[in-house]
Amino acid sequence: MTKTWFITGASSGFGRGLTEKLLARGDRVAATSRRSEALDDLRAQYGDRLWTAVLDVRDLDQVRATVDRAFGDLGRIDILVSNAGYAVLGAAEETTDELLRDIVDTNLLGSIALIRSALPHLRAQGGGRVLQVSSEGGQIAYPGFSLYHATKWGIEGFVEAVAKEVAPFGIDFTLVEPGPARTNFVHGVVQPEPIAAYDGTPAHITRDAALGGDWIITGDPDRMTDAMIAVADKTHPPLRLALGGTSYDAIREALTARIEALDAQRAIAFSTDYPAEELA
C-alpha cells in the first residue's frame, strides 16, 4: 500500500537516501531542506509524488507552518522522519555560546517543534508513526562531542516520554540510533577554535581520529536506510533501533556498565528512603 512520508534534512545523507528509495518504490514524499534547488532532480523525475519545501528547523514558526501546509496539501502523512541535524566536534571549553544555541536549536528544539506540530494531525487522522533519527550518541558519549550528545540525549528523553503520551492515539515512535556510517556527516561537522591545552587529551584524540580518517567506518548508509524503511513498515515498531555493529556493541557496553554501577549502589539508594515503620 502506498504511504506518504514527511522527511527533514532530505538534501543529503540518510534523508536523501530515504527520499530516493521511497519514491522509487511508489510512495509519496514531502521532503524538506534548507536549499530550494537540492531536490530539483527528483522533482523532475517523480513529479507530484514529491512535495518539497524550504525549511530551516531552527525557525519554529516555519516548522509549524510547513507541517500544517504539508498535511493540508497531501491530506495524510503516515510517517514523519525527523532527520535534520549535525555535530559540533571540540572540547566543551572550546565551544561558544553561538555554537551551543545553534546546535540546540537545530538538533533538539527543531526536532521537538516538528513532532509537536505533527501530533494534532496524526491524532486527527487516527494514528501514524515518527522516526526520530538520533544516534548511538543518544545513549553513549565520546569526548569532544559534548554538545552533540546533549542534543541527542535530550531528544531521546523527549521521544520516550511523548511515545507514552500518544500511544492511545495509535501514534508510534522509533528512535533510530546509527553508528558511524559512510555518509557526508563528517563534512558537516563544525569545529570550534582549538585550545592548545587539550592537545593529546581525549577530546583532541577523538577529533583527530574522526577527521583524520583513522576510524574504520563499517556502517553502510544504504543498508541503514533499508532498515529504517523496514521498521516503519512494521505493525509494531520498536522504540529504539540500533544500526551498525559499532552502534550495537557500544550501546550494549554502555548499558551493561550502567547496570553494574547502579547495582553497586542499591544499598545506598534504599537507605535514603523512609523506613517502613515511619511510613506507617
Q: Which residues are catalytic?
A: 134, 148, 152
Q: In the block, which residue shows the cell 510547513?
A: 66
| Helix, strand or coil, per DSSP, at residue 259 | helix
Helical spans, DSSP H, in 31-82 = 40-46, 60-74
Give Cβ neighbours of residue 36 (< 8 Å, ≥ 6 apart). Answer: 52, 54
Task: Tell me which amino acid residue 124 is.
Answer: A
C-alpha–C-alpha distance, residues 89 and 191, integer Å: 5
As a whole number of Å, the CA-based R_g of the chain is 20
In 3D space, the residue among 161, 165, 62 whose CA is nearest the CA of residue 114 turns out to be: 62
All 3 cell numbers of residue 260? 553494574
Q: Are 6 and 73 in contact (CB under 8 A)?
A: no
All 3 cell numbers of residue 251? 550501546
